[in-house]
Amino acid sequence: MKAKIKAYAPSLYSLAKGCYWKYRNLNERFRGTGVQERYWSKRHLREGDDWGSRASTGDQNEWVQGYWDSRSHGHRQLMLEKVKAFGSVRSLLEIGCNCGPNLALIGKEYPKAELVGIDINPEAIEVGSRILGRDGLSNVRLLVRRADELREFQDKAFDLVLTDAVLIYIGPDKIEKVIAEMARLARRALIMIEFHADSAEGSNGLGIYHFGCWKRDYVEILRQCADDIREVRLTKIPEKAWNAANWKDLGYIIEALF
C-alpha cells in the first residue's frame, strides 16, 4: 500500500499543482486585475519576505524591509545604468515603487531631480517615506495610488516613467489603460523591467498568464497604446544579474523612447 502511495504521489502532486494554476488563471482572467490589486494592497498582513532573506533589522515590517535591503540586487544596477544613459534627468515617476529601493539609488545619483513613487500598498509607502526621509532623500515623494489612477499628473509631467516587476501583475483588462497613461506622462522615455515574450502563441496581445504573472510582447502592446513612441529597445537581463526562476528566461528591460 505504502509503495502504491509513493508511486502515485508525484503525479497527484503535479495534478494538484496543475489544478491550482488553472484555478488562479481562470480567477484572474474572469475577475481581472482586481484580484492582484487586493492581494498587493493587503500584502503586509501576511508574513514573509519577497526577497527570500530575513530582514536585517527588526523595527520595520519584514516584507517591506526585504525590498529596502534589495537595493544592491544586480538588476537595480542595470536599471540605474539605463536611467543614467539619459544624461540629465529632471523628473521621474516610478509606478509600483514599494518602499522606494530604486528611487533611493536614483535619488543619490540625481539629488536635484523631482522623483515621485506610487504604490498600491499603504505600508510600503509609509515605511518607505520614513526611511527615505531618514536617509536625507528629500527629493523623493511617495504616494499611495493605483497604477491606473494617475489622472492628477499633467501630460508629459516626467522625463522618465519606470516600472520594475509591476506590469507583470496587471492583467489584460487594464494593461492598455496603464500603458497609455504611462505614455501620456513621460516626456522622454518609459523604462519597464518586466516579463517580455515575442508575440507569444495564444496571446491576444494583452498578455499570457504565466504562473501568477502576465508576460506579453511589449513591442506590440506599446505600438497599440501609444502613437508617439519612436523606438522600442529590448535588453535581456543577464542571468548573473537576476537568476530567479522566470526572470532569467523572461526578464527584460524594455525602453520606449519618445
Q: Which residues make up the interface to ligand SAM (CB under 6 A)?
A: 36-37, 40, 43, 67, 96-98, 101-102, 119-121, 124, 146-147, 164-166, 169
Cβ at position 43, least distance to ligand SAM in Å = 6
Long-range CB contacts (within 8 A, 24+) of 62-65:
63/123, 64/98, 64/99, 64/123, 64/124, 64/127, 64/128, 65/127
Residue closest to ligand SAM when measured from CB atoms: 96
Cβ at position 163, least distance to ligand SAM in Å = 7
Cβ at position 79, least distance to ligand SAM in Å = 8
Nearer to ligand SAM, 9 or 253 (CB): 253
Nearer to ligand SAM, 119 or 159 (CB): 119
Cβ at position 7, least distance to ligand SAM in Å = 39
Nearer to ligand SAM, 96 or 107 (CB): 96
Nearer to ligand SAM, 97 or 256 (CB): 97
Cβ at position 110, least distance to ligand SAM in Å = 17
Cβ at position 106, least distance to ligand SAM in Å = 12
Query: 96 and 71 in contact (C-beta within 8 Å)?
Result: no
Distance CA 35, CA 171 (A): 10
Helix residue spans in the chain (DSSP H): 2-31, 34-41, 62-69, 74-84, 101-109, 122-134, 175-185, 218-225, 247-250
Residue 161 buriedness (CB in 10 A; 0-12 / 13-18 / 19+): buried
Nearer to ligand SAM, 89 or 104 (CB): 104
Nearer to ligand SAM, 97 or 197 (CB): 97
Distance CA 35, CA 37 (A): 6
- First-to-last alpha carbon distance for the chain, in angstroms, is 66
Angle in degrees, 0-180, between the axes of helices 101-109 and 74-84, rounded to the nearest 10: 40
Give the residue among 219, 204, 198, 195 at the shortest CA–CA distance from 29: 204
